Structure 1
Amino acid sequence: MLGVVLLYVGIVLINNGIARLSNIDNKSAAVMNIFTGLLSITINIITIVHGDFHTMDDIGDFYSAATGLLFGFTYLFVAANGIFNLDNRLYGWYSLFVAINSVPAAYIEYFVNGDWRMAIIWILWGILWLTGFIENVLKKHLSFVPYLAIFEGIVTAWIPGFMILTNLW
């Protein structure tokens, strides 16, 4: 299911970057954020429901679902802020929380799972989430963020998602 979610995370990051570069209003950009957020939450809740609390083998499923929900809530948070024109500072604090979680996630991917590709991807995701904190809480404008979102949409989500779906990862 990771490949499915990553494919849509790719397009939402690309959309968000393009929307910001093109001065497209937040309500228009919210549509793809809602679709991607709901898809991610649905898939990860299904994973949790089908998990087994009694065996250690399935703890990875819960970890994957928990980290996957960080994405789903990110996109729904962005959508709600855009639609209702809310104060983005709380989204910034949420982004810091997720950025901090990306550090142990990268560690686990590299040292526990032996997957250096996903470790790098988690680091890159953490950097993007950190920009959400810097821009929305610290109120520092970072002009590179839309380009970073597009880059990460392609390199950390779309390509890996497509490769996972085609069994090339």
Structure 2
Amino acid sequence: MSSVGLLYVGAVLFINGLMLLDVVPARAAAAMNLFVGGMQVVFPTIIIAQADGDASVILGASGLYLFGFTYLYVAWNTLTGASGEGLGWFSIFVAACAVVYGIVQFTHLADPVFGVIWWSWAVLWLLFFLVLARGRDRLTRVTGWFTLLLGIGTGAVPALMLLTGTYVTGAAPALVAAAVFAACFAAAWVLGRPRQQRSGRVAAGTMTGGRTDAEL
């Protein structure tokens, strides 16, 4: 994933995290999802079209679609009022693919830090699946906090490091990254548990077209 594209992945995850936490209204987040989702679909298409069959280039671009279609799906649900089950089931597909992309980072690309990042995204998209497809409303605020924190930790920070030439990878940095993302999950779990009974149900509606279980 390019450093510029990764920066905007961080931005949209940050906004969507705030949306799940009832800080940003769903319709106010739709524009960012449309912009980044479109970018993550158009750019990899151009890259693949110009790859001249280079498998490594195609592999690197292919994962971008997983994010692009997720954000476009969020925008679609928000603007049309569609329910979130489709997005939820797509999210478990994304989570499974993210596990594979993480393995590829370790085995083929020698970048264990991004292997850890891909696996953290797998956990995040698994949470989207549980909230949207399985109706686990009590996890909505946990998911919101984890989305927000990963937007910073897996998007903005590594993107800025790549852009400034300070990014390093290897076993030791990967262990640090794993510890950071475990801490992010623990923090999300703690921060997301309090007010969950009421606010969690309302926030879940933002990714399901604005309707909570009580309204369906």
| TM-score interval for Structure 1 and Structure 2 normalised by the shorter chain | over 0.9
Q: Which residue identity is paired with 2:115?
A: A
Deviation per residue, 1:115-166 (Å, 9 max, x gap): 1100100010001111111011110020311110111000111111111122
Find the counterpart in structure 1 of residue 87 from structure 2. 91
Question: Secondary structure at 2:105's aligned position in 1?
Answer: helix
Structure 1's unaligned 5+ residue stretches are: none
Deviation per residue, 1:77-96 (Å, 9 max, x gap): 11111111111101011000
Deviation per residue, 1:50-77 (Å, 9 max, x gap): 1112xxxx21111111111111111111
Find the counterpart in structure 2 of residue 15 from structure 1. 15
Q: Which residue identity is paired with 2:14?
A: I
Equivalent pairs, count: 165
Q: Which residue identity is paired with 1:133?
A: F
1:120 aligns with 2:116: yes
- Output the TM-score relative to the length of structure 1: 0.93
Q: Which residue identity is paired with 1:100?
A: A
Q: Which residue identity is paired with 1:109?
A: Q
Shift in CA distance, 38/96, structure 1 to aligned 2, threshold 3 Å: same
Between 1:118-127 and 1:14-23, the stretch displaced more is 14-23
Structure 2's unaligned 5+ residue stretches are: 168-216
Find the counterpart in structure 1 of residue 148 from structure 2. 150
Q: Which residue identity is paired with 1:106?
A: G
- C-alpha distance in structure 2 between counterparts of 1:17 and 1:24, whole Å: 9
Find the counterpart in structure 2 of residue 168 from structure 1. 166
Shift in CA distance, 164/84, structure 1 to aligned 2, threshold 3 Å: same
Q: Contact between 2:14 and 2:152, CA under 8 Å: does it hold in 1?
A: yes
Q: Contact between 2:15 and 2:24, CA under 8 Å: does it hold in 1?
A: no
Which structure has the larger Rg over C-alpha atoms? Answer: 2
- Output the TM-score relative to the length of structure 2: 0.73
- C-alpha distance in structure 2 between counterparts of 1:9 and 1:106, whole Å: 17
Question: Secondary structure at 2:135's aligned position in 1?
Answer: coil
| CA RMSD of superposed structures (Å) | 1.2
Identity in percent: 34
Q: Which residue identity is paired with 2:124?
A: L
Question: Secondary structure at 1:144's aligned position in 2?
Answer: helix
Greater RCO between the two (CA within 8 Å, min separation 6)? 1
Find the counterpart in structure 2 of residue 130 from structure 1. 126
Shift in CA distance, 22/137, structure 1 to aligned 2, threshold 3 Å: closer
Give, in angstroms, the shift of residue 168 of structure 1.
Answer: 2.1
Q: Which residue identity is paired with 1:16?
A: N
Find the counterpart in structure 2 of residue 43 from structure 1. 43
